[in-house]
Chains A and B, each alone.
Chain A
């Protein structure tokens, strides 16, 4: 497969799509000559305070058209995703989708590949401060793994020694210059040859603690469904890092809620903790360079900035069935400073764009293109809102209230609060204030634009914080 059909132009395609959509709307409004704004009315509040208010609301037809467009877009994306999903599952194309459920069922009907076993791989680069707690949480699971291997990659600290003290195996990478993906590829190349269909492989970060019940739930799923190729974790943010940490925790709560509402349909098999059936990883290695991009024989794409996002798309392209059950939760690190967060998110954005650029527009990547277009349009929509607010403020000498828009704002607040409700009072308090999260969204929007800019002009991407979570994901806008 030719790598990089959209490698450099992916940013332009996304930006062009978002700007094109916005311009279309803009011109449609301009030719319809919008009505002039009414002057505000002066009134008394509780008989004491003088207030200006403007009861103007958009014309009914405008409201109805907006509602219809929003529902149509959301429904279309959901319906197309469902269609892609169903067709993929029922595919009989052995060459293009060898992991499709129907084909896997046919191949394995009446065959017993032995009971489920689990080998956990933990790639670690100088993780001495966290490896012990990670291993303790892992070994304390109600269903213990059968084998745990810490893949020590160019460590100069006590990571390997601490792992051995915990009673697990350690394999050191040899001459690896391709970071985590390269280290994993070395171990997987040797290991996968000996794994049967039910000898599962888990890849998890050294700075991630599994919640209890993760392995039991995941392994039950694999036992009940031999066509299931991967189970991904749902991540929550760790405590700490003040307001910046809370912004990230709220984001992660919303993402987990969103995943539950999707009934676990995978968006990204998080690098923090995901379990694979060996045949899925073998199929990825076999098809690289032909039906999916990458170096032939490699499980992980060492060129990808976000290798977990990449392998998710690889598996989807091959028709694999995947799930993120609500019970499979992990706690992961939040970025402690703005600089770290900036680098992490820029890497995610850049990685996400590179991945869809490398795969091009296919049924498997449709949802990811739609997400990027949605995010791109969100940048324009939020930017226009801020511009309007500023222009309004500098064009009047008195504060004017807009009851209609206050009502709309109240719905936004409600949504923000409801979607983080399970995060506790701090999450709710931050959500109810609305403006701080809008500012955070604007920060993420700047990252989005910078990521598109960098990829378009071929700027080298940074790898970021040493301990940053390796899952590539961004919340739905």
Chain B
């Protein structure tokens, strides 16, 4: 069955749906909606940090502890999330 019946509309004639303004508006909303849904999918999926896959220069070169003799291992080997990760200051 096809929808050949005449639609009168409540306030506007059904022909309004074929007007240039409405078609541009519909496409504008469609593009925006798809763009926002992409961002929604990004928010649902786990966030990936490419830097996690690599080691080496992104590790700290020295300990940043307040204790000067703390040695370099603790901070340098830590992969706990940190504000300045990845990277050393220089």
Binding site for B on A (CB under 8 A): 22, 25-26, 29-30, 34-37, 39-43, 52, 58, 62-63, 65-67, 69-71, 74, 86, 89-90, 100-102, 104-105, 109-113, 115-116, 197-198, 222-228, 261, 263-266, 321-323, 325-326, 381, 384-385, 387-388, 391-398, 405, 408, 411-412, 414-415, 418-419
Contact = CB atoms under 8 A, between A and B. Distances in A.
A385 B37 CA distance: 13
Contacts of B14: 395-397
A90 B84 contact: no
A73 to B, nearest CB: 8
B55 interface: no
B74 A224 contact: yes
Contacts of A384: 25, 28-29, 32
A391 B11 CA distance: 9
Given A29-B28, A263-B83, A411 B41 contact: yes
Nearest to B5: A42
A52 B83 contact: no
A69 B84 contact: no
Interface residues of B, number: 58
Query: Which residue among B4, B8, B20, B44 has the maximum number of chain A CB atoms within 10 Å of its CB?
Result: B44
A391 B8 CA distance: 13
Given A40-B3, A408-B34, A415-B43, A90 B90 contact: yes
Contacts of A419: 43-44
B83 A26 contact: no
14 contacts: A70-B34, A70-B39, A112-B67, A223-B65, A225-B75, A263-B85, A264-B83, A322-B83, A323-B84, A381-B32, A394-B10, A395-B12, A397-B14, A412-B40
Contacts, number: 200
A58 B31 contact: yes
Contacts of A264: 81-83
A388 B27 contact: no
Interface string B1-36: 111110111111110111010111111111111111
B64 interface: yes
A74 B81 CA distance: 22
Contacts of B25: 384, 387-388, 391
